[in-house]
Chain A
Amino acid sequence: MTDTQWPIFEVFHQQARGEPHVHVGSIHAPDAEMAIILAKEQYCRRQACVNIWVVPASAITATLYTDDDIFERATDKSYRESWGYKTPKHVAMPHGDSPAQVAESDSEVKHM
């Protein structure tokens, strides 16, 4: 019998406008147009779906789990996070300047 084993497309669906597309699985299809039709039948029978992406599986390059040390965080990355910075609610200014003046000088610093 003729082999009609088609290429694989990975399927991503979007449940509402503005939401990210999420990977839901994959299907076989002869081309992208047909992949959309089959993906809709397979993955959008019930739950809300406003958009589908299909991507040839061959177009995906992935990292290897065996190389997962590339994701190791060797150093403290707290300097990249908002929670890495602590400020008191009220700041006592050393020279008694009014808050307005401080804000002004602060913005000057920023623009330098």
Chain B
Amino acid sequence: MVIAVDNEKTASMSDVDPRLSAFEARINRGEKIEPADWMPDDYRQQLIRLIHVHANSEICGALPEGKWIPHAPTFKRKLALVAKVQDEVGHGQLLYRAAETLGPSREQMIEDLISGKSKFSNVFHYPAESWADVAIIAWLIDAAAIINQTMMAEGSYGPYARALKRICYEEAFHMKHGYEMCVVLAGGTRVQRDMLQDALNRWWTPIMMFHGPSDKESKHTTQLVKWKVKLKTNDEQRQQFLRQFVPKMLDLRLKIPDKSLRYDSATETWRYDDPDWNEFKKVVNNGGPVSHERVEARRLAHVDGLWVREALTAHANRQPIPMPERN
């Protein structure tokens, strides 16, 4: 999943390359841009940033759910959760590969995540406190991610679009399973229903922030839409999410914790309390409740796995295999 971050530069039009108009004509014809093709540097940088953040988010998104694997209530749920977590990590790898076709190495991107130089989605800076959080994440966050990813899968950059086609196929299972979990909890005991409502109360605001700052605040969207890096603005994606999922939440007798939420039939849009975008900025800059725990988990995995990577390299080079240090 992708967050919109507010700090990118806008294209400078002073040094227009003659190849630019041919490039834009290709995008307008619906052609995909491939790694070896000429592309404006701004296009490259924006894509690297987006795909990198997306890859980081898949990896960090596996952490809150992974923690719940040992506590899954049934064997069937455990199997599904293991499969989902494995898929998310796989998504991260597919996306790092797509980003690599634009320049940066996977190693560098992982280092940047660990050092806090690169960001990940706002929603993964919060803890999953109960089993119902796992259900809400799988249903609504994966749903929000699908809206973003099916859009990006139609984007102009070939390797990213192809990776997203594979990813969306798997996300469909995540969301369906998440919905099933929510339906079971919503139709369960009082304790289960309260658990689900509490989870929604906790996650509502982060979910409303998921598609990024409102269009009023993000200046660069026009350029990204023109180059088909993005096909819809943040607010359009948020509206699509509300259109599809508010009725389903209400069906489950959930109360949505936003007093101003209502459908405006004149404009055919949902009205809602605009989230606090300063809070969003703070969170995505690793100022969220568990930002440091997430980055630390990633760092430990990288450090603890180093001996495995070294051993595999040694084996490939037919060298003696180094053993892990005992302590």
Contacts and interface: CB of A to CB of B under 8 A. Distances in A.
Answer whether A and B are interacting partners: yes
Interface of A: 1-6, 8, 24-28, 30-31, 34, 41-42, 45-46, 64-66
A2 B34 CA distance: 31
A95 B33 CA distance: 62
Given A1-B303, A2-B306, A65-B36, 16 more contacts: A1-B302, A4-B309, A4-B313, A5-B105, A6-B313, A24-B166, A25-B94, A25-B162, A30-B312, A30-B316, A34-B312, A42-B93, A42-B94, A45-B83, A46-B170, A64-B36
Interface string B97-128: 10000000111000100000000000000000
Contact of B97 (A1, A25, A30, A66): A25
25 contacts: A1-B111, A2-B310, A4-B310, A5-B106, A6-B313, A8-B97, A25-B94, A25-B162, A27-B93, A27-B97, A28-B106, A30-B312, A30-B313, A30-B315, A30-B317, A34-B312, A34-B315, A34-B316, A41-B90, A42-B90, A45-B83, A45-B87, A45-B90, A46-B170, A65-B37
Contacts of A6: 313
A6 B308 CA distance: 13
Most chain A CB within 10 A, of B83, B312, B313, is at B312
B203 to A, nearest CB: 27
A66 B309 CA distance: 38
Contacts of A3: 107
Contacts of B106: 5, 28
Interface in B291-327: 302-303, 306, 309-310, 312-313, 315-317
A5 B166 contact: no
Given A25-B94, A41-B90, A45-B90, A31 B166 contact: no
A5 B312 CA distance: 12
Contacts of A2: 306, 309-310
A20 B306 CA distance: 37
A42 B302 CA distance: 19
A45 B86 contact: yes
B310 A65 contact: no
A25 B166 contact: yes
Contact of A26 (B37, B97, B317): B97
B254 interface: no
B249 interface: no
Nearest to A64: B36
Interface string B243-269: 000000000000000000000000000
Contacts of A45: 83, 86-87, 90
